[in-house]
Amino acid sequence: MLDTNLKHLESRKEVDELLKSSENVMVCCGRMGPMCIPVYDIMEKLEPKYPQVQMRDMDFDIPDASYIKNLPECSSFMGLPFTVYIKNGKVLKATSSIQNEKQITKILETVF
């Protein structure tokens, strides 16, 4: 499990339940590494400002992270984390590697 203050997704079942119950979802799939931690920190900071978006993390090394890893939108990604923005069950945006607060906010404002 990742050491963040975000809610964690630990199984494909949890992902499926979240996507069924929530219109707007942001999932950051990574490790506790130097490219991932800043994204988790930004998500924690932005979470109260975007109550309409369910923000979650997912450990890249668990078997059920294959859901994120195998998304067509992530097929060319080389760096962690993989961050996906999903609206009504459809991936509208995906990014890899570190993102800053301005980049993440722009995506949230555009997608949701």
What pLDDT is attached to residue 1? 79
CATH number of domain containing 93: 3.40.30.10
Range of the domain at 98: 7-111
The answer to whether 71 and 91 are in contact (CB under 8 A) is yes
Q: What percent of the chain has pLDDT over 90?
A: 99
Examine residue 67 and state whether it is found in any structural domain, yes or no.
yes
Q: Could you tell me if residue 103 is inside a domain? A: yes
Task: Judge whether 34 and 86 are in contact, CB under 8 Å.
Answer: no
Q: For the segment 33-51, what is each residue's pLDDT rounded down to a tens digit?
A: 999 999 999 999 999 999 9
- 55-93 per-position pLDDT tens digit: 999 999 999 999 999 999 999 999 999 999 999 999 999
CB crowding 7-29: b at 16 or more within 10 Å, else e: eebeeeeebeebbeebebbbbbb
Residue 99 has pLDDT above 90, yes or no: yes
Q: How many domains would you assign to the chain?
A: 1
Phi/psi at 111 (5° precision) = -80, -40
Report pLDDT for 43: 98
pTM, two decimal places: 0.96
Please give the pLDDT value at position 97.
Answer: 97
Q: What tokens appear for 73 in the block?
A: 């939108």
97 in any annotated domain:
yes
Q: Edge-to-edge strands of the sheet including 54-59?
A: 7-9, 54-59, 24-30, 82-87, 90-96
